[in-house]
Amino acid sequence: MNRVSVFIDSGNFYHLVLKKLNLPEVEFDFDGFAKLLSNGRQIAQGGKRFYVGTVREMQDGHESKRAMENQTKLFSELIKSKDWTIKTSKLRTRTERIKIDDRVANYKQILSRGINEIQYTRSREKGIDVKIAVDLIAGALDDKYDTAIIVSSDADLIPAIDWVRKRLKKKIEYIGFSMPQTDLYESTKPTKTMIYNSDVQRVLVESDLKPFIKKTTF
């Protein structure tokens, strides 16, 4: 039987899909999603793998506190459903500044209001792609799976993908997404390099994902 392992890059999935659905991770059924991806195949022992940057509470940050609570709830649900391995890394937060000049749309109008610079804080995951790559190779070496299902469009995984395909003859199934452009976000499209460097490609659209949106009771 074809044994599969599912590798979900949570941050990548959130920005490509859930953010555009205005849906926090805790309201998405990852267990049911993994079952869909397995498509009747046997999920290997320890073969549901979830990679995520951990949220930190910021001083006077109500949004960060809510994000921490949602993430804790999500982890609890994944642990309860069993067979999930959760790998985490810290989110690195830094302050960035944008100087208002002719590179910015409507810069003259912004400058006329006395705004010369915009400052904002952004958080980025560090090391998630490395953790996925290491587990992908280790699982192949230990013959834990026959097919790795990759839910990530991070092209940094290509070297590890190439290695397990060419050296150990494991299959790679890439899960990409196609989401329409909205007023707030650009469209989501599958990554061409991931398509070219995988054995099987599946592109999911919004209607494929809606069944996994949890119904909440108010």
* Assigned token pair, 26: 């805790």
Edge-to-edge strand list for the sheet holding 147-151: 117-125, 84-99, 42-54, 3-9, 147-151, 171-178, 200-205
* Assigned token pair, 158: 């290509």
pLDDT of residue 34: 96
Whether domain 3-91+126-212 has CATH 3.40.50.1010: the reply is: yes
**Residues 112-148 as b or e (16 or more Cβ within 10 Å = b):** eeeeeeeeeeebebeebbebbbebbbebbeeebbbbb
Q: What is the pTM of this model?
A: 0.82
* Assigned token pair, 108: 């003259």
Which is it for the CA torsion 192, 194, 199, 201, positive or negative? Answer: negative
pLDDT of residue 59: 43
Residue whose structure tokens are 């995951």: 125
pLDDT of residue 91: 59
Mean pLDDT by 10 residues, the chain (218 residues): 94 92 92 95 95 67 70 89 86 66 78 76 69 96 97 95 96 95 82 96 95 74
For Cα atoms 18, 51, 40, give the angle at the middle one, nearest 5 degrees.
75
Strands 117-125 and 200-205 turn out to be unpaired
CA pair distance 183, 99, nearest whole angstrom: 25
